[in-house]
Every structure is written in C-alpha cells, then in structure tokens.
Amino acid sequence: MSKQVPETIKKQKKRSFNSKEVKQEKNEKRMKLLKEIQEKAYKRAEKYEKEYLDQEQKLKELKQKALKEGSFYREPEPKLAFIIRIRGIVGVPPKPRKILQLLRLRRIYSGVFIRLNKSSLRMLHFIDPYVTWGYPDVETVRALIYKRGHARVNHQRKIIDSNEMIYDKLQKYDIVCMEDLVHEIYTVGKNFKHANSFLWAFKLKPPVGGFSTVKKSFVNKGEHGNREQYINTLVKKMI
C-alpha cells in the first residue's frame, strides 16, 4: 500500500509549480518587451538620422541662397548649451556657488546640459569666471550620453547600460531608447526637463596638458566663458 503524501507537501509542490509558472511568464513578457524596445529603437535611430541630415542640407541651402543674393544668413538662436566647470571652490562668492550647486556643477570638470533662455543666460553671467560653455552639436551630445552617460535612479548614479533602463524611467514621455534621449536633449524637446533630470551630471577628464589660463575668458585667449561651437572640440578631449 503506497504512502499518502502529506497535505503540506502537496501545497509546497503546488506553490513551487505556480512560482515557476509566474517566473516563466514574467521572463516571456520581459523578452517580448525588450524585442519591442529594440525594434522601436532601430526605427527611431533611422528617423532621427534622416532628420539631422535634412536639417544640415536645409541649412546649407539657406546659406548658399543668401550668398547668391549678396546677403548674410543668420542662424537661429541656440537653444542648448553644455557647461563645464573649470575652477574649484576656493574664492567662489556665495551667489555663484549657489548657482553652480543649482546646476549640479558641484565638482571641477563636471558638465551639464542646459536650456538657453533669459533666466539661464542670467545664471551663466554670474558663474562665467568658473565655467566654460558653448553649443554642442548632435555628435557631441551623442558621445557624452553614450560614453559618459549615467542616470539618476533612486537618487543613485547608475551607468546607462541598456535601453530598458531608459524605458523604465522615461516611457511616459515617449523616450524609450538612447537615441530618443539624444534627440530630446539635442532638440530641446517638450520633455527636455525630464530627460535632463534623468541624466546625472557628467564627470569628465581634464584635457591633456590642462587649461592654459582659466582666469582669462575664451575670447581673450583664456578658457572661461562662451566658446560657442568650439565647445565640441573641448568635449572630445575630455570624454
């Protein structure tokens, strides 16, 4: 006569079976989601690349047209800046120090993106002697995010190692992959604030040989202040 299996053992086996089923179902859902994100990321990367090339071609045509007409083409005012802190805390007055903290530029060689408007330009005026900044192109934005990008996750600094991480935090803003993040920052889109808050301040390397004269402005053969498009050359040396 076979022994009867105790009821507790039956329940344990049932729970174990159910647990495996739930786990398998979760894994299947996750794999399906990852596939969807990957497909969407590929399509959007193609879309954005076409958009950037079209913009570049349009700008070229407008400049050529202006040249033929004997006039000068004035480019739209920049909407995006990248700021790098190039001086430490010694001798920084309270107001500039507070602004540096507000912008998350707490350490030397840290960098952040910022939307350019009347308010942010005023802040840049106060911290000008302690930072250098300019207008990043899409290659610079992409390089920073891909090579130096870290996310703010539960108040902790986490390397952005997958599109899934971006999806988890920014899907409600229709930002689901790296190229979405690059596009939102570069174009200063409607969800720029959320995308930028997701990014931790960038930790950059000092350029080889250091900075020449941080106490002089860039226009006076120094380092601090607005260097316009030349910020792209500097960032390449610091990534």
Residue 184: its pLDDT value, please? 99
* Segments making up each domain of the chain, as ranges: 80-238
**pLDDT for the residue numbered 138:** 98
In this structure, what DSSP letter does residue 116 have?
Answer: -
Rounded to two decimals, the pTM is 0.86
Q: pLDDT-based confidence at 91, cuts 50/70/90?
A: confident
Q: What is the pLDDT of residues 11-25, one digit of tens each?
A: 665 565 566 666 777
Q: Give the model's pLDDT for residue 200.
A: 97
What's the pLDDT score for residue 191? Answer: 98
Percentage of residues in the chain having pLDDT higher than 90: 74
CATH annotation of 80-238: 3.30.1390.20
- How many residues does the structure list for the chain? 239
Beta strands in the chain (DSSP E): 80-85, 110-115, 131-134, 150-153, 156-159, 202-203, 225-226
Task: Write out 221-235 in H/E/C secondary structure.
Answer: CCCEEECHHHHHHHH
Angle between helices 163-170 and 178-186 (to 10 degrees): 60
